[in-house]
Every structure is written in C-alpha cells, then in structure tokens.
Amino acid sequence: MKLSSQAQAFVLHFGEMGSRWGFNRTVGQMFALLTIHPEPVNADQLAQALKISRGNVSMGLKELQAWRLVELHHLPGDRKDYFTAAGSIWDLARTVFEERRKRELDPTLTLLRQLLLNEPQDEQEAEAQERIQEVYDLLELLDQFANTLSRLQQKDLLKLMKLGSGLSKLLELKGKVKGGPSKAK
C-alpha cells in the first residue's frame, strides 16, 4: 500500500490532532488512513504504511473497535482480517461525537450526582454544593442536548447547522405559532 503525498499529509495531521480528539497518535493515523482509503486494509498493510509495529496496530484496531469506528471484513481466500471505516463521514462524526459525550460528560455527571446526595454539614459545604449544583445542571442539560443532536436525522441536523443567524429568529417563533411545538419544561 502506497499513500499519495496528499493522503500522507492527511494521515500525519490526524495523528497530530489525535490526542485532542481522544486517541493517541497512531490510532489517529490508522483512523485517518481507513477514512481516506475506501478499500479494506489489513493489519500488515497498516503497519507497513504507517511504519509502526504489528503489535501496535493490533492494539490500535482494538481501540478503534471500542470506539465503533471500524468494520471487519473478510476477503474470499484470504485468512487475514480486513478493516474499513464504519460508514460515511457523517456516521463517523456522529460516532465520535457520541463516544466523546459518554467519556467526557457521563463520569462527571455520575460523580456530581453522588456529591449532591450528601447533606451539607456546614455553611461552607452548603455554598460549595450550590456551585456543584450549578455545574451539574449545566452539564446535564448539555448531555441531553448532545443526545438530542445525535438522534436527529441527518437532514434535520444539516438544516439546523445551516441556519446560522436564522437560529435565533427560529427560536423566537417557538410557541408563538398555531400548531407549533408545545412549550417544553
């Protein structure tokens, strides 16, 4: 497998950005490669193209599977496992988005919920709990919103994202229109 210099640059960049997106350099590179390369690729090809060890590829694929970002394929007459990116670019983005929501929000929500169960023992703690409650409310709302977005049909999501400044105008309409959506909360 040879990568064009375009592909090379794309892959290397996704490696660099990897850590910001929640995976390490080689996992980022593997993901990028599978994303620009439409044909299924096996582990040896990945190792060769990215110049990393076979063991590292195995671990990276395991992680990409945990993220549900890759699909396993088999080619007739070949015992090797072949991989492709799972679905369209939009599917991939949605999956990364959901997975990050889970990893970045859920553990914190769980902890804060526990903290809020305790009765504050003094004025100091009562004050701290107030702030914790504020953080909790906000993260909970964010979490629900992220969930709502994940569940939207692609065409609705596209419509929403393209609204731009039309979004606030649309929000003004809410509840003011006969037969429109009813007031939430």
Contact between residue 60 and residue 103 where contact means Cβ atoms under 8 Å apart: no
Long-range CB pairs of 51-55, under 8 A, 24+ apart, other chains included = 52/26
CB of residue 75 vs its own copies: minimum separation in angstroms? 20
Kindly state whether residue 59 participates in binding its own copies, applying the rule CB under 8 A: no
Side chain identity at residue 18, one-letter code = G
Given strand 70-73, what is the order of strands in its sheet? Answer: 41-42, 82-85, 70-73
CA distance 39 to 13: 21
Kindly state whether residue 64 participates in binding DNA, applying the rule CB under 7 A: no
Kindly state whether residue 58 participates in binding DNA, applying the rule CB under 7 A: yes
Selected binder of DNA within 13, 21, 55, 144 (CB under 7 A): 55
Look at residue 24 and give the partner it binds from DNA, its own copies, none, a contact being a CB closer than 5 to 8 Å depending on partner kind.
Answer: DNA
Judged by CB under 8 A, the chain residues 76 through 105 that form the site for its own copies are 88-90, 93, 103-104
- Binding footprint of DNA on the chain (CB under 7 A): 19, 24-27, 42-44, 51-56, 58-62, 78-81
